[in-house]
Amino acid sequence: MKLYINGQRKIGTRDSMIYGHFIEHFHRQIYGGVYDPDNPLSDEDGLRMDVLEAMRKIKVPILRWPGGCFVSSYHWKDAVGDNRRPFFDKAWRVEEPNSFGTDEYIRLCRKIGCEPYICANAGTGTAEEMSDWVEYCNLEYEGRYAKWRIANGCPKPYKVKYWSVGNENYGFWEIGAKSAEEWSRLVAESSKMIKHVDPDTELTAAALTDLDWNIKLLKSSAQFLDWISIHEYWDGIHQTNDYADYEAVMAYTNQTEHSIAEVRGLLTAMKLDKKIKIAFDEWNLRGWYHPNVHTVEQGRTKKDYLYPRDKNDDNSKYTMADAVFTACFLNVLNRNCDIVGMANFAPIVNTRGCIYTYKEGIVLRSTYHVFDLYVNYMGDVVLDSWCGDMEMMCVRNKVGEPEETAVLDIVATAFSGQAGYAVAVVNKSEAEAKKLEINLETSGDVRMYYISGESTESYNDIDREEIAIECEELGTYIPGMEITLKPHMVGVIQIGV
């Protein structure tokens, strides 16, 4: 296959925030995950130092918190100061101790050097409660909430720039779900109050690929919004935990772009595409496993709804299938960098996250290394590229139907701050190596950083590392150079870097 790259034709410059992450008060993401005060690996603030280091290595640019479904019955005022008030989390049906609140979250963000992104309660919360939260975080000293922050030991404002009005309030599963009419009104009033507190905030609101919902939302609130939020989990196994196999996951790679295309079209039609960007602020290949919760008939015992969540911790399930899909979606985000300015992998720690914690350390799952490749080896200027003789392969989707999908998924980039090029290449083929001829007018040394594993089922676990970044020195580049791509491989080819 022959790849052609036009080094002079730029699609756009991607924002680093497309490599963002998300963390929620679910299962072990916070408690026993990033926050574990009794663990000797934690620092003076109770934050796991090994997790912080892993997050810094992939340069987490922005971290969305505290939810997710959790936020729709979360009242932030109960989780700041000395008098923390536990509550029963009606979303996940557990007691939330409120030990980790706004101040702890900001410390986490400061320690890893990322932008905070707070999702506010638009389920049981009010416009006033949301704007009070902005007062606490962003006002210098005015009002009781800024003074409360100062009294809690934080004299300088946090200056949280990114805020979301609500989570998935369109869904029946969400606490405080709303109709399109109710939602458009609440978002408008909440956004107005938040902007009155701090006009420098950037706001998003929950949306989906539904014309009626989005048109009502944008007609009421477009003047306040900077972003529109969409979510997607392709292998939706929240209730069943029946993982799609490698072949079916490759079929899912055909579906990675439809949500962006549909929302882009709506924004363009409403002449908002230059004002409002897409925040794909929850995404992962597979849905989190939490049976008998987002159902009308609730689980009666903890064996029905709580204990099964531990199956999210099975590291053997996070294989090269997850890595290949993740890379394909990051390629989609890069190709759409003119309209997608933020994305948040859900979550970063435990559950389906790319970092797994246990008492004595951490495991870096396959998806972690994908982020490492893209963050640390790819360029930020996305270039026009094409492969006129792309090979197709036939796979069977999860319901057993045949589909065709492109064997390779490729994005070419340059660097805004230095010379050279970097090309992300994904070989979806389960068993066959593929040859790629690169045609680009440039020169320099060539090296390839990649992950592949021995098989599609390779995974990392405690005392088991089957997936890690490898590097091959490929010599001096000449136009038409041919490079061999291993099966089920995710790689970045650097030229002249």
Residue 22 near residue 119 (C-beta atoms within 8 A): no
pLDDT of amino acid 74: 98
Structure tokens at 406: 């492109």
- By the 10 Å C-beta count (0-12 exposed, 13-18 middle, 19+ buried), 344 is classed as buried
pLDDT of amino acid 388: 86
Q: Is 454 known to be catalytic?
A: no
- The distance from CA 156 to its chain's CA centroid, rounded to whole angstroms, is 29
Choosing from 96, 174, 189, 282, the catalytic residue is 282
- The distance from CA 32 to its chain's CA centroid, rounded to whole angstroms, is 21
CB neighbours of 85 closer than 8 A, spacing ≥ 6?
78, 79, 98
H/E run at residue 374: helix 366-377
Class of domain 2-8+381-495: mainly beta
Residue 61 near residue 19 (C-beta atoms within 8 A): yes
pLDDT of amino acid 374: 98
CATH fold of the domain at 14-377: TIM Barrel (3.20.20)
Q: Is 282 known to be catalytic?
A: yes
Coil/strand/helix, residue 256: coil
Structure tokens at 6: 């036009």
Q: What is the pLDDT along the chain (497 residues), one digit of tens a residue?
A: 999 999 999 999 999 999 999 999 999 999 999 999 999 999 999 999 999 999 999 999 999 999 999 999 999 999 999 999 999 999 999 999 999 999 999 999 999 999 999 999 999 999 999 999 999 999 999 999 999 999 999 999 999 999 999 999 999 999 999 999 999 999 999 999 999 999 999 999 999 888 999 999 999 999 999 999 999 999 999 999 999 999 999 999 999 999 999 999 999 999 999 999 999 999 999 999 999 999 988 999 999 999 999 999 999 999 999 999 999 999 999 999 999 999 999 999 999 999 999 999 999 999 999 999 999 999 999 999 999 899 999 999 999 999 999 999 999 999 998 999 999 999 999 999 999 999 999 999 999 999 999 999 999 999 999 999 999 999 999 999 999 999 999 999 999 99
Report the alpha-carbon distance of residue 274 to residue 271 in Å, rounded: 7
Handedness of CA 67, 309, 112, 18 (dihedral sign): negative
Match 């050279």 to its residue by tokens.
Answer: 420
Choosing from 168, 174, 247, 403, the catalytic residue is 168
Domain residue limits, the chain: 2-8+381-495, 14-377
Single-letter amino acid code for the residue at 429: S
Match 């099966």 to its residue by tokens.
Answer: 487
pLDDT of amino acid 209: 87
H/E run at residue 370: helix 366-377
**Residue 243, phi then psi, degrees to nearest 5:** -60, 135
Q: How far is residue 160 from each of residues 21, 129, 180, 206, 487, measured CA to CA in Å?
A: 16, 16, 28, 19, 43
pLDDT of amino acid 367: 98
Output the CA angle 375-457-34, nearest 5 degrees.
50
pTM here is 0.97
Report the alpha-carbon distance of residue 253 to residue 234 in Å, rounded: 9
